[in-house]
Structure 1
Amino acid sequence: MKSQTQQVESIGAPAMSPGSVLTQVSGVLALIVMLILVCAWLARRTGFAPKRGNLRGLNVSASVTVGQRERVVIVDIEDARLVLGVTAQQITHLHTLPPREPQADAPDAPAPADFRQILHTLIKRPGKPQ
């Protein structure tokens, strides 16, 4: 008779408590969100994701690191080139250069590839006909 009572008690008891299911689901969801953020960070670091676009009249043409957080940059604007010292706290104007003359023999920058072209080149395998 005891075995029959034990069977009834074990059948009526839930296999998992609702709190543990909620904890598992939220843990998996947090893991997925973290995985997405890590993938986005890696894409940004490796250069796969495009960087934010420059302003039309503003272009950083050269940059040199002179310390742990200090840089000297040359910024091209419409009518001059500015040499700037950049630190974590401030930006200091160091010198103004004359504007760069347009180069006639400079090749045009290639148009950025769209996602389909990038994916196609990544999927291609050497020696495999397409």
Structure 2
Amino acid sequence: MNTSSQTLHPATPQTQAISAGSVLTQVSGVLVVIVLLILVCAWLARRLGFAPQKVSSQELKMTASVQVGQRERVVIVDTADARLVLGVTAQQITHLHTLPPSGPDENPPQSIAPHDFRQLLQNLVKRPGKPQ
């Protein structure tokens, strides 16, 4: 066996001085690219119709609301072809009654309010020609 006169020295790790500025630049560059990618995806989703459409306030309008319990309400919602009386709780929305659409010149008096919920509900459910 040939023995060499050179002795093997364990490899000494050569450390490079990595500056904090270069790491910060790399991380911020990657973050900027990710944010731009998210914005481009959102723009594409909106352009292609995947994003939900906004409802115009003229198409759907809440005209009255009455508190029934701590978290329960009865609301009247005007749509283009009907007025809906809805019961709203924290868990669900229940359709109570459908009223005919209000005319464009019909404005319910804001200053006169029934004192009793039962009276308000009877006025809402009252149909023309139906005796009470």
* TM-score w.r.t. length of structure 1: 0.38
- The answer to which structure has the higher helix fraction is 1
Q: Which protein shows a greater Rg?
A: 2
